[in-house]
């Protein structure tokens, strides 16, 4: 048990990763992982192909990363919250409806960003960018970043975010995400568990406060991602303490995106006891073994 290596946050081509769902589970096994979760943004489309390809010795955890927003009722301040959800029923009605709305919203928003760039003379063809995505795929900024890389405007996805696509850069457009409280309820109703992703990743923009974290815990959120590439040591220590006070399960994961990011799969891992706790609390779907 001590040697178990568990990575509970990874993306495939079903959202904005570069490994196919099949490739993702193969990459996980090659990296020596015992457990990997597939957590594409706002879709479960990768679950079935990933499950088909699970090699002997690997456990696949079906999951997703939900795009949610926390709104402070006093100030109106909006903070983007990425909510990992595991082992929920993918056919649960309210969840299906909301995630499908969000994917449509993602397409409208990404096309609008592409059109703005084209209007300014950047070598981006909005139709080409959108047509390259499967119907109903969760379109995201990395897809637009790839178009800029292909056109030679930037050398990599990172530069595309730094110069064009990041929050506060010229072409960034917001999106109408799910209220975080509603997302927690939807996943709980679907028998799943929720873990807030990279809650204190300041490099990504404004972050939630410890008070909001406490409110989400009271609402029924299950855990927090403590060990994440965007958290420095001090942040991890702070989060570890807060999680302890609030009774939240602590996870650690790579947030692997294939070659869209430089972090390898398995770069951060979750303690086996924490993983067991998540599995014990979920009833909506099961882990997959070969």
Residues 6+ away with beta carbon under 8 Å from 254: 7, 9, 10, 229, 263, 264, 265, 266, 267, 268
Instruction: Specify the stretch interacting with ligand AMP by CB under 6 A; choose among 53-61, 127-135, 156-164, 270-278.
Output: 156-164
Identify the residue whose tokens are 């760039």.
Answer: 117
Taking the complex as a whole, how short is the minimal distance between the CB of residue 111 and ligand AMP, in angstroms? 12
Query: Which is nearer to ligand AMP, 260 or 269 (by Cβ)?
Result: 260
Pick from 6, 13, 14, 16: which binds Fe ion (CB under 5 A)? Answer: 16
Instruction: Specify the stretch interacting with Fe ion by CB under 5 A; choose among 80-88, 233-241, 243-251, 262-270.
Output: 80-88
Residue 231 near residue 239, CB atoms below 8 Å: yes
Residues 6+ away with beta carbon under 8 Å from 82: 65, 66, 67, 68, 196, 197, 198
Q: Does 65 interact with Zn ion (rule: CB under 5 A)? A: yes
- The site for Fe ion, by CB under 5 A, has a size of 3
Helix, strand, or coil here: 217?
helix
- H or E element that contains 69: strand 59-71
Site string for Zn ion, 16-55 (x = CB under 5 A): ----------------------------------------
Footprint (CB under 6 A) of ligand AMP, residues 12-71: 16, 41
- The site for ligand AMP, by CB under 6 A, has a size of 11
Backbone angles phi, psi at 84, to 5 degrees: -75, 140
Q: State how far the Cα of 17 lies from the Cα of 146, in Å rounded to an integer.
A: 11
- Nearest CA-CA partner of 40 in 16, 24, 22, 61: 16
Query: Which is nearer to Fe ion, 34 or 149 (by Cβ)?
Result: 149
Q: State how far the Cα of 58 lies from the Cα of 75, in Å rounded to an integer.
A: 46
Footprint (CB under 6 A) of ligand AMP, residues 186-245: none
Pick from 257, 258, 268, 288: which binds ligand AMP (CB under 6 A)? Answer: 257
The residues of the shown chain that bind ligand AMP, judged by CB under 6 A, are: 16, 41, 140-142, 157-158, 161, 257, 260-261
The residues of the shown chain that bind Fe ion, judged by CB under 5 A, are: 16, 82, 197
The residues of the shown chain that bind Zn ion, judged by CB under 5 A, are: 65, 255
């Amino acid at each position: 048990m001590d040697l178990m290596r568990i990575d509970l946050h990874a993306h495939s081509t079903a959202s904005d990763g570069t490994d196919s769902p099949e490739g993702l589970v193969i990459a996980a096994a090659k990296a020596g992982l015992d457990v990997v979760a597939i957590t594409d943004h706002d879709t479960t489309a990768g679950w079935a192909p990933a499950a088909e390809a699970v090699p002997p010795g690997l456990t696949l955890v079906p999951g997703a990363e939900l795009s949610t927003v926390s709104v402070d009722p006093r100030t109106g301040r909006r903070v983007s919250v990425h909510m990992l959800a595991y082992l929920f029923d993918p056919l649960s009605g309210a969840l299906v409806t909301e995630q499908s709305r969000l994917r449509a919203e993602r397409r409208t928003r990404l096309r609008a960003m592409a059109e703005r760039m084209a209007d300014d003379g950047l070598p981006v063809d909005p139709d080409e960018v959108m047509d390259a995505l499967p119907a109903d795929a969760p379109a995201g900024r990395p897809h637009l970043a790839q178009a800029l890389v292909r056109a030679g405007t930037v050398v990599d996805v990172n530069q595309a975010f730094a110069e064009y696509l990041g929050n506060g850069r010229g072409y960034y457009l917001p999106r109408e995400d799910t209220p975080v409280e509603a997302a927690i309820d939807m996943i709980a109703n679907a028998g799943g568990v929720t873990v807030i992703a990279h809650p204190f990743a300041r490099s990504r923009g404004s972050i939630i406060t410890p008070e909001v974290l406490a409110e989400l815990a009271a609402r029924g959120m299950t855990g927090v991602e403590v060990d994440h590439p965007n958290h420095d040591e001090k942040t991890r220590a702070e989060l570890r303490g807060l999680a302890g006070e609030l009774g939240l399960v602590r996870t650690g994961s790579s947030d692997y995106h294939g070659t869209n990011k430089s972090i390898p799969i398995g770069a951060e891992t979750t303690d086996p006891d924490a993983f067991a706790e998540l599995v014990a609390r979920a009833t909506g779907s099961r882990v997959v073994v070969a």
